[in-house]
């Protein structure tokens, strides 16, 4: 084919354009280049998420991924308890999970979650909540805060994110700012502290106080050109005022529930799960329920030494509350709309320490999902004969987070803006578990 000779001027112009394109690709963040197109992502229709946190490191081979029996006294590696069949053919769980076993077809068991943090509980907890390693320069937001940022509250007069447990930076909003922080409580009887008026403050008196406060806030924000921290603090004041009062606090009146239902849920942890269902009904988008009740077995899920002896008490309590929560949400026609996510910071090795307990193990451990409109009744991944190594279908923490976000209709590759207008993807290149959609 005949072509006109390429003039030197045209050659330089085209070469310059090509160089600009290559340079732009080179400086583009790797995550941005590697992200899937949003149209290719599976998107669920869940409206709420309840995260149940087993703080301390729940042993996967003593719960959701049982193996051959071990012997702590003889230092023989293996599971501490026998296994039982479940509603998922071919999937077995610990004998102390009979209620969950009977309804496991509403669950998905993910047996091959992994990360590299082993000996540091705080760093592993941060990894599971934020989906990223701890950084010295950026405080990443928790998954609850990201969901609050992306979806907001699902009802009027309620927060987007409630934490039933002790707050810390791992569960906080990070660079998203205080607007997307949690409302927390540690006592299911009284609800969040500070949201109830003192007995001597009538509604009319409170109204006068709020009008005066709003005037002061408005004048200060107009005249002072405040910093971001001050503006966020003012936003927190506005949110607290919005939530204070009888409407939101009615959610915490658990004594309005039937006695047999409250008994079915069990003790304090069970009442937290019942409250989580009521919070979902009120329109709260994301609820984290902590289950780290050390007084039951002496150590919580951190079963070094003698904590292993009474680990079954924790498992029984989890079984009772979790199975009741699933069936209660199903009865309320909320299970398809509510994703339940049971997680821990890492698992435990098959071997026993000198005190009869177990150490830490993060190269393979289990997380379970339930409800949420997912393709339930699946067991994802296979570990070896002692649960120490992944044999097939590894699931990274970013993959797990991407699955949860997709279930809630959130694009896990979308950018959040960190301080200084730095784009940070919602997940660290996580890919959802497509079999679940």
- Per-residue pLDDT reduced to its tens digit, 102-124: 999 999 999 999 999 988 999 99
Please check the confidence at residue 78 and state whether its pLDDT lies above 60.
Answer: yes
Kindly state the average pLDDT of the residues 224-234. 64
Neighbours of 34 (CB within 10 A): 11
Please check the confidence at residue 224 and state whether its pLDDT lies above 60.
Answer: yes
Domain over 36-196+245-436 is classified CATH 3.40.720.10: yes
Parallel, antiparallel or unpaired: strands 365-371 and 107-114: antiparallel
Kindly state the average pLDDT of the residues 379-384. 98
Are 194 and 240 a contacting pair, CB within 8 Å? Answer: yes
**Rounded to the nearest 5°, which phi and psi values hold at 349?**
-70, 165
Burial class for 241, CB neighbours closer than 10 Å (0-12, 13-18, 19+): middle
More confident site: 64 or 419: 64
Q: How confident is the model at residue 307 (pLDDT cuts 50, 70, 90)?
A: confident
Considering 176-180, 199-203, 263-267, the range whose residues carry the highest mean pLDDT is: 263-267
Neighbours of 102 (CB within 10 A): 15
Neighbours of 415 (CB within 10 A): 15
Please check the confidence at residue 126 and state whether its pLDDT lies above 90.
Answer: yes
Would you state the pLDDT for residue 305?
A: 82
More confident site: 206 or 316: 316
pTM given for the model: 0.84
Tokens of 10: 């045209």
Distance of alpha carbon 330 from alpha carbon 107, whole angstroms: 12
More confident site: 200 or 279: 279
Considering 210-214, 263-267, 306-310, the range whose residues carry the highest mean pLDDT is: 263-267
- Per-residue pLDDT reduced to its tens digit, 48-71: 999 999 999 999 999 999 999 999
CA distances from 374 to 52, 107, 143 (A): 18, 9, 19
The residue count for the chain: 437
Q: How confident is the model at residue 206 (pLDDT cuts 50, 70, 90)?
A: low
Distance of alpha carbon 203 from alpha carbon 431, whole angstroms: 50
Kindly state the average pLDDT of the residues 271-276. 97
How is the chain split into domains, by residue range? 36-196+245-436, 197-244
Burial class for 223, CB neighbours closer than 10 Å (0-12, 13-18, 19+): exposed
Distance of alpha carbon 376 from alpha carbon 105, whole angstroms: 6
Distance of alpha carbon 340 from alpha carbon 190, whole angstroms: 24
More confident site: 37 or 97: 97
Helix (H, G, I), strand (E, B) or coil at 83: strand
Kindly state the average pLDDT of the residues 257-272. 96
Would you state the pLDDT for residue 262?
A: 97
Q: Where are the alpha helices (DSSP H) in 152-227?
A: 203-223
Please check the confidence at residue 1 and state whether its pLDDT lies above 80.
Answer: no
CA distances from 6 to 11, 12, 17, 363, 411 (A): 6, 10, 16, 58, 46
């Amino acid at each position: 084919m005949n072509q006109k000779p390429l003039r030197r001027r045209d050659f330089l112009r085209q070469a310059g354009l090509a160089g600009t394109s290559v340079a732009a690709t080179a400086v583009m963040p790797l995550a941005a280049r590697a992200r899937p197109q949003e149209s290719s992502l599976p998107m669920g229709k869940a409206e709420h998420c309840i995260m149940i946190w087993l703080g301390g490191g729940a042993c996967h081979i003593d719960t959701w991924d049982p193996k051959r029996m071990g012997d702590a006294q003889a230092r023989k590696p293996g599971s501490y308890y026998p296994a039982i069949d479940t509603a998922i053919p071919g999937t077995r769980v610990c004998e102390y999970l009979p209620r969950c076993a009977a309804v496991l077809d509403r669950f998905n068991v993910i047996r091959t979650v992994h990360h590299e943090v082993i000996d540091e509980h705080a760093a592993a907890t941060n990894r599971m909540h934020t989906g990223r390693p701890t950084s010295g320069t950026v405080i990443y937001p928790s998954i609850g805060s990201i969901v609050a940022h992306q979806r907001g509250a699902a009802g009027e007069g309620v927060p987007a994110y409630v934490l039933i447990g002790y707050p810390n930076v791992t569960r906080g909003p990070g660079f998203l700012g205080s607007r997307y922080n949690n409302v927390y409580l540690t006592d299911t009887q009284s609800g969040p502290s500070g949201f109830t008026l003192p007995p001597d403050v009538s509604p009319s008196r409170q109204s006068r106080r709020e009008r005066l406060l709003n005037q002061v806030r408005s004048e200060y924000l107009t005249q002072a050109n405040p910093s971001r921290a001050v503006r966020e603090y003012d936003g927190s004041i506005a949110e607290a005022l919005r939530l204070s009062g009888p409407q939101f606090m009615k959610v915490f009146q658990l004594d309005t529930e039937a006695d047999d239902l409250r008994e079915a849920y069990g003790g304090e942890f069970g009442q937290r799960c019942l409250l989580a269902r009521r919070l979902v009904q009120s329109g709260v988008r994301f609820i984290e329920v902590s289950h780290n009740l050390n007084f039951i077995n002496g150590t919580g899920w951190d079963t070094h030494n003698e904590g292993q002896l009474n680990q079954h008490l924790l498992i029984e309590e989890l079984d009772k509350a979790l199975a009741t929560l699933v069936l209660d949400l199903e009865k309320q026609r909320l299970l398809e709309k509510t994703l339940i996510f049971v997680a821990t910071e890492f698992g435990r090795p098959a071997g026993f320490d000198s005190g009869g307990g177990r150490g830490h193990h993060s190269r393979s451990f289990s997380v379970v999902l339930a409800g949420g409109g997912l393709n339930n009744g699946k067991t994802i991944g296979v570990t070896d004969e002692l649960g120490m190594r992944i044999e097939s279908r590894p699931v990274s923490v970013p993959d797990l987070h991407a699955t949860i976000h997709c279930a809630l209709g959130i694009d896990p590759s979308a950018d959040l803006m960190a301080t200084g207008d730095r784009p940070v993807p919602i997940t660290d290149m996580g890919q959802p578990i497509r079999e679940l959609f």
